[in-house]
A = this chain, B = another copy of it.
Amino acid sequence: MSDLTVAAAQRCVIEAMKRLGTESVPLQQAFGRVLAADIKANRDQPPYDVSAMDGFAIRSADVANAPVVLEIIEDIKAGDMPRKTVQPGQCARIMTGAPVPSGADAVIRVEDTEAVSETQVRINVAVKPHNDIRDQGESMRTDEVVLTAGTTITPGVVGMLAMVKAASVEVWRLPRVAILSTGDELEGLEEPFDANKIPDANSYALMAQVQALGIEPVLLGIARDEPSHLKEMLQRGLQFDVLLVSGGSSVGVHDYVRPTLEALGVQMKFWRVQMKPGHPMAFGVAPLTWVFGLPGNPVSGMVCFEEFVGPALRYITGHANLFRRTVMAKLARDVKHKHSRTEFVRVMLGRDSDGFTATPTGDQGSGILRSMAMAEGLMIVPAECKGLVAGEQVTVQLLDGTAYQDEAGE
């Protein structure tokens, strides 16, 4: 099997994905999930014509020659129903959201009035009929579809769901995700210090990447380079919907992962991708499980997660937008590129008068996890690129931590 391009590998992964059915969750736990069914309004909203302001419900004809003094016949709060009809020369004090009384055809905001007495008010401006009135059903009409299946539940969507009294909502199920690191050289987080070993950073970096998608993964720990132990650990992983195996997918003789996965019935779709970092990036399908073989270098593993696993998990969870948002940025310094593979260069983002700037985070060695910890984005260097020079516009995928900036906009 020849190496796939990044785009071909992404297509291969996404085509193998499906959703896992739906479940009902309370609205309090719905943020970030994806609606699995259309949502209809259960009422007209507003339920009647309401005031858009705190002020006075009036007859617009009465105030054509403002200023004019009107008699206050009633006091209507939000939640009250009016009891009287506004006759010529009369008005009702009214609160934002309160029903407009019959007879009245407009609202004057309190700032445009002056108190004369307990029962009289001076109206200082003329207004057209309908001024500051919100119509019944303006926001939504009973049985109208107000949110469609496939909508990601943002805070605004949560507000809409509360507005139609959706105390629980049908959403796509989250996959159960397991993470397994492999390699005798690894030292677990809770294991004692051994100067000759390398701490297992991958399990935790991948864990946080999964958590960032709203899924709590299960860490299976470290599989040693011993066939029966590896097999047992992979079998455990194949009980999950998604299994991420870190390390063990390169071409060395000690890599038992590939044959063991195949012996366990995993049909491998690809083993390499034309990318840097991340060349040994594998993907396979088992009867119950999607299996991703991620490179053992922590940075490579994280980049491969971003390009393949993240979009797959977004697909499974029902999202329409699968890929990290990209922005154009001005490259701050020259970047060499001689590979015929797509390169993902870790960059920090800045701003100048033209927009974003992108500065590579120094040493891009795939073992240098700090470059990933500092990175705000991944600059995409296309396979055919002959090198980039400072000042060029480049494409950058935004990573976690870029949703906020240090200054308010203006």
Known: A45-B198, A79-B225, A372-B159. A408 touches B252 (CB 8 A): no
- Please tell me if the beta carbons of B365 and A27 are within 8 angstroms of each other in the complex: no
Q: A370, B405: Cβ atoms under 8 Å?
A: no
Q: Which B residues are CB-close (under 8 A) to A153?
A: 208
Given contacts A146-B370, A183-B97, A373-B147, contact A323 B202 (CB under 8 A): no
Whether A399 sits at the interface, judged by CB under 8 Å, is yes
Q: How many copies altogether? A: 2
Which of the segments A16-24, A262-270, A325-333 contacts the partner chain? A325-333
Q: Does A102 have its Cβ within 8 Å of any Cβ on chain B? A: no
Q: Which residues of B contact A326 (CB under 8 A)?
A: 405, 409
A155: contacting residue among B52, B212, B402, CB under 8 A: B212
Q: Is A335 engaged at the interface, CB distance under 8 Å to the other chain?
A: no
- Chain B residue at minimal CB-CB distance from A198: B97
Q: In the complex, which residues 189-210 of chain A have their Cβ closer than 8 Å to any Cβ of chain B?
A: 189-190, 193, 195-209
- Residues 369 to 384 of chain A near chain B (Cβ within 8 Å): 369-370, 372-375, 380, 382
Checking B52, B134, B160, B323 against A408 with a beta-carbon cut-off of 8 angstroms, the contacting residue is B323
B403 near A185 with CB under 8 A, answer: no
**A157 interface contact, C-beta 8 A:** yes
- A405–B322 Cα distance when bound, in Å, is 6
Residue A274 interfacial (CB < 8 Å): no
Which residues of A pack against B, CB within 8 Å?
6-7, 10, 27-28, 30-32, 42-43, 45-48, 52, 54, 75, 77-81, 93, 95-99, 110-111, 134, 138-140, 146-147, 151-165, 167, 183-187, 189-190, 193, 195-209, 211-212, 225, 250-254, 296-298, 302, 307, 311, 314, 319-328, 355, 365-370, 372-375, 380, 382, 395-410
Q: Are A365 and B96 in contact (CB under 8 A)?
A: no
**Are B401 and A154 in contact (CB-based, < 8 A)?**
yes
Interface contact A183-B373, CB-CB below 8 Å: no
Least CB separation from A55: chain B residue: B252
A96 in contact with B405 given A159-B372, A185-B77 (CB within 8 Å): no
Across the interface, name the chain B residue whose C-beta is closest to A355.
B328
A-B contact pairs, 27 of them (CB 8 A): A10-B408, A27-B189, A28-B204, A28-B207, A30-B208, A47-B198, A78-B254, A79-B196, A93-B253, A97-B296, A99-B196, A139-B368, A154-B373, A154-B400, A155-B302, A155-B372, A156-B369, A158-B204, A159-B298, A162-B199, A162-B204, A163-B369, A165-B187, A324-B405, A325-B404, A325-B405, A328-B355
Contacts of A159 in B (CB 8 A): 201-202, 204-205, 208, 298, 302, 369, 372-373
Contact A158 B196 (CB under 8 A): no
| A207-B28, A367-B46 known; A165-B183 Cβ under 8 A | no
Closest to A307 in B: B408
| Contact of B254 with A367 in the complex, beta carbons under 8 Å | no
- A160-B373 contact given A368-B139, A395-B409, A405-B325, CB 8 Å threshold: yes
A189 touching B165 by the CB < 8 A rule? Answer: yes
Q: Report the separation of the CA atoms of residues A32 and B404 in the bound assembly, to the nearest whole angstrom.
A: 12
Complex CA distance for A178 and B368, rounded to whole angstroms = 42
- Report whether B322 and A163 are in contact in the complex, using a CB–CB cutoff of 8 Å: no
Q: Which residues of B contact A203 (CB under 8 A)?
A: 162
Query: What 8 new A-B contacts, CB under 8 Å, besides A7-B410, A165-B189, A167-B189?
Result: A77-B254, A78-B254, A79-B184, A79-B225, A139-B367, A162-B189, A321-B401, A325-B402
Closest Cβ of chain B to A222, distance in Å, is 10
